[in-house]
Amino acid sequence: MDKKNKIGIGLYLLNLIVFAFLSFIIISNNLLPTNYRIVYFVVMIIIEAVLGYLLFKKAGSKKRKVLLGLLTVMILIGNGAAGYYANQSLAALGKINENQEEEQVGLSLVTLKDSDSNSPEDISEGQIIAPLDQDKESLELYGAKEYKNAKDYMAAVDDLMKGKGEALLINDAYMDLIKEKYPDFEERIKNIDSKEVTVKNKDIKKDVGENEPFTMYISGIDTYGSISTVSRTDVNLLVTVNPKTHKILITTIPRDSYVKIAGGGKNQYDKLTHSGIYGVGSSVATLENLFNTNINYYGRVNFSTLVKLVDLIGGIDVQNDQEFTTNGGQHHFKQGTIHLNGEQALAFARERYNLSDGDMARGRNHEKILKAIIQKGMNPSVLLNYTKVLDIMSDSSETNMPTAKVIELVNNQIKTNSSWNIQGIQLQGSAQSGLPSYAMPGHDLYMFVPDDGSINQIQQNIDSILN
């Protein structure tokens, strides 16, 4: 056997190993629709068999052997690239899924700016104010032995300002709430210690069978960076999907909706956005109770996710109902069909003050953006290249939807290439002030009180998609 033939056979054997590895990944993870897999395996087995026969055949010119070697290299590169692509996709999906297993709670120990204390050791025993009545579970993670208890964060800030303690322990998720009532709070205090603690999340998913309808909660949190940071939920959408009928219902719930907050909210009335500070499980349970429906999965995204995703898919087109300017004149959106890149989509989604009906219009804009992303994302060219989508989402999004379910949905869309009927509905109600807030007692907040008739209509619409 000559040297060139030995190299060709060596490459061929390596190719078989790579092909076997790729086949294992595809089969074990159910990648690609069944008919796609069958065609791929039949074609590849025939090619590998013919190639092997020709390579092991002794007779033949050197030119033919070189050509067979080059063909082997090409197939090897193709299988290797496909294996790498599939492995990266699964790894990214796994990371997105892993993100939901934990939440990061930031804790800060602060004193008044003119205090002589510069570290926890400078604080006298029992002089740390902590609103244990409101946030005991989180604050106890700090590890101090003794606290001066305050009934809530607003009372705790008052106590600090009045000198009823030397320091205040704060769950960072509450910081924006505090600053709403005390705008100069950060100018009046100094941070002498910070800790970030990891809290395990409970598994709250309710799995459904193959091609069975489900509802997913989409939470948009008002932060950049790490998705695991506990924060208020600024965007609240229920996405009800029926893979059999190819129908999707997007339900928009205003952030200021005045509802009973489950979990850490002790089933007390408050803004829906405040449910986020108790974790995503609180938001899910709150909406399940409100609409008397099961929420099977959730997805959590932040500002970083939206910007990167929209840019990756080449921007989106939305129908803008009213002309407006936002971000101090940085972005101007004309009425009619407009094309948005990532930064423009974020500005479009966040604006409410320059819209005629404020947060209600913003909610409709959230629906338009999500609908546009779904429609563009259903394109087979995007689905077949979803590694990049998953990659950018792995650091700034999380979901408890299992990887197998995501693959199932992608496979189904690749197989059918069906168009989807996407409908939208928005929770209606009326604005009120002076209503009590569990998270911010004594503070006069804008509240949106849901209309019972609207709640019932949403329940019916969700049921019509599910059944």
**Cβ density class 3-32: b for 16+ within 10 Å, e for less:** eebeebbebbeebeebbeebbebbeebebb
For residue 100, is pLDDT > 80?
no
State the DSSP code for 257.
Answer: B
Q: Let me know: does 25 contact 86? Beta carbons within 8 Å.
A: yes
Which pLDDT score is estimated for 227? 64
Is residue 445 pLDDT above 60, yes or no?
A: yes
Q: How far is the C-alpha of 41 from the C-alpha of 49, rounded, in Å?
A: 12
Answer whether residue 317 shows pLDDT above 90: yes
Measured over the CA atoms of residue 279, residue 281, residue 286 and residue 291, the dihedral's sign is positive
pLDDT of residue 64: 75
Least confidently predicted of 393-397, 447-451, 459-463: 393-397
Tell me the β-bridge partners of 129.
148, 168
Which three-class secondary structure state does DSSP give residue 319?
strand
Q: State yes or no: pLDDT of 223 exceeds 80.
A: no
Distance CA 87, CA 162 (A): 58
Strands (E), 86-178: 102-112, 128-130, 148-149, 167-171
DSSP 142: G
Bridge partners (DSSP) of residue 128 are 167
pLDDT score, position 121? 94
pLDDT in tens, 148-204: 999 999 999 999 999 999 999 999 989 988 998 889 999 999 999 999 988 888 889
Q: What 3 state SS string does 208-241 have?
A: CCCCCCEEEEEEEECCCCCCCECCCEEEEEEEEE
Any idea which of 94-103, 327-336, 357-366 has the lowest mean pLDDT? 94-103
Strand pairing report for 167-171 and 128-130: parallel
Largest pairwise CA distance in the chain: 97
**Between the CA of residue 368 and those of 343, 355, 375, 422, 437, what are the distances in Å?**
16, 15, 11, 10, 30
State the pLDDT at residue 376: 86
Residue labelled with tokens 């394109």: 379
CA atoms of 296 and 215, how far apart (whole Å)? 6
Return the pLDDT at 3: 60
Mean pLDDT of the chain: 89
> Cα(255)–Cα(233) distance, rounded to whole angstroms?
7
Q: What is the pLDDT of residue 205?
A: 94
Q: Give the start-to-end residue ranges of the domains of the chain.
A: 3-99, 102-200, 214-466
- As a residue count, the chain comes to 467
Rg (CA), the chain: 28
The CATH homologous superfamily of the domain defined by 214-466:
LCP protein (3.40.630.190)
- Better pLDDT: 325 or 1: 325
More confident site: 145 or 337: 337
C-beta separation of 194 from 108 below 8 A = yes
Q: Of 325, 322, 332, which Cα lies nearest the Cα of 357?
A: 322
Whole-number percent of the chain with pLDDT over 90? 57
Tens-digit pLDDT profile for residues 262-306 = 999 999 999 999 999 998 999 999 999 999 999 999 998 887 788
Q: Please say whether the beta carbons of 425 and 249 come within 8 A.
A: yes
Angle at 165 between CA 161 and CA 166, to 5 degrees: 90
Long-range pairs for 200-203: beta carbons < 8 A, 24 or more residues apart: 200/101, 200/102, 201/100, 201/101, 201/102, 201/103, 201/279, 201/280, 201/281, 202/281, 203/400
pLDDT tens by residue, 39-80: 999 999 999 898 888 877 765 667 777 788 888 889 989 999
Q: Are strands 258-261 and 331-333 parallel, antiparallel or unpaired?
A: unpaired
Least confident stretch, 382-386, 393-397, 457-461: 382-386
Instruction: Tell me, rounded to whole angstroms, the distance of Cα 412 from its chain centroid.
Output: 22
The CATH homologous superfamily to which domain 102-200 belongs is Periplasmic binding protein-like II (3.40.190.10)
- Which is more confident, 145 or 142? 142
The residue written with tokens 């932040």 in the block is: 302
Q: What span, in angstroms and rounded, lies between the C-alpha atoms of 360 and 255?
A: 10
DSSP strands (E only) in 21-171: 102-112, 128-130, 148-149, 167-171
pLDDT at site 272: 97
